[in-house]
Amino acid sequence: MALASLRALALVCSAALVLASCSAGDDTTVVGKASANKLVVAVGYDQPGLGVRRLDGVFKGFDVDVARYVAKELGAEDVSFIEATPSQREQLLVDGKADLVVSTYSITEKRKEVIDFVGPYFVAGQDLLVRLSDPRITGPESLAAGMRLCSVDNTTSAQYVKDKFAQSVELVNYPNFSDCVTALLAEQVDAMTTDDVILAGYAAQNPELLRVVGKPFSKEEYGIGLRRGDAAGKAKVTAAVQQMIDSGEWRKSLQDNVGQSGYRIPDPPKIVS
């Protein structure tokens, strides 16, 4: 009986090891993809300070740093980046083209019907970016008739300003944030609106020409998007983000990437999902 019991125990342990091995190598999960060095993360390509792809192919920014930190904690030695545009983020996850989305991705109930989130890993507020030489705009309520407000396709930022603060302002939409900045510098629009930390990145690039008004008027909680149903992956990603915050790397990355704009680095948020 003792020998039989030992054999049975050995078989159980062997089966457990096989199952653990299969789980680690399951390329339908975030952990499995990371362990196989096949992790694909979608990030912004045109958001200085957060996610940008430079001409030399190097990716930089706070979101990029978060993605790399999480990937390393998951066991990935390398990570592949693809572009996340606002209109494509959920679909990239649903179609399996990306394993994680780390791209100023606001957590909303509607999006949570389609994907899962870990976060918030950052809390932003909507604000305005204006030319340094233009003293007229002091907040959303100062946007008068005849002024043009720019934002990006498939976002609700500009419409929110029009509905809540400035019914007479003219809305202008472009595909990318960088298009709005170009239009602002060329005096084709009077202001640009989106989350304050995104605007801070552009102000840091052009400190002699642009400024963030500095009166945020909404609350945007950024989360890391991942496919629904990967409970183990969600738990691992949550632990990785918390480790980044606890280690001080979270604050250091923000300071390095947007600190020179004058943006006040906030305290890290409490992760709730």
Residue numbers of the domain that contains 85: 36-124+221-261
13 versus 165: which is more confidently predicted?
Answer: 165
Q: Are residues 208 and 227 in the same domain?
A: no
DSSP 218: S
Q: Are residues 143 and 77 in the same domain?
A: no
Q: What is the pTM of this model?
A: 0.81
What pLDDT score does 25 carry?
Answer: 58
Q: Are residues 130 and 109 in the same domain?
A: no
What pLDDT score does 87 carry?
Answer: 80
Q: Are residues 120 and 153 in the same domain?
A: no
Q: Are residues 53 and 115 in the same domain?
A: yes
pLDDT above 70 for 22: no
Residue 110, in any domain of the structure = yes
Of 14-28, 32-46, 196-210, 255-269, the range with the lowest mean pLDDT is 14-28
**Residues whose CB falls within 8 Å of the CB of residue 8, separated by 6 or more in sequence, listed in order:** none
3-state secondary structure labels for all residues of 222-250: EEEEECCCCHHHHHHHHHHHHHHHHHCHH
What's the CATH code of the domain at 257?
3.40.190.10
Q: Are residues 242 and 173 in the same domain?
A: no
Confidence of residue 252 (pLDDT cuts 50, 70, 90): very high
How many helices (H) does the chain have, and how many strands (E)? 10, 13
Q: Are residues 143 and 68 in the same domain?
A: no
* Number of domains the chain contains: 2
% of the chain residues with pLDDT over 70? 91
Residue 151, in any domain of the structure = yes
Average pLDDT, integer, range 71-88: 93
Q: Are residues 143 and 168 in the same domain?
A: yes
Q: Are residues 78 and 208 in the same domain?
A: no
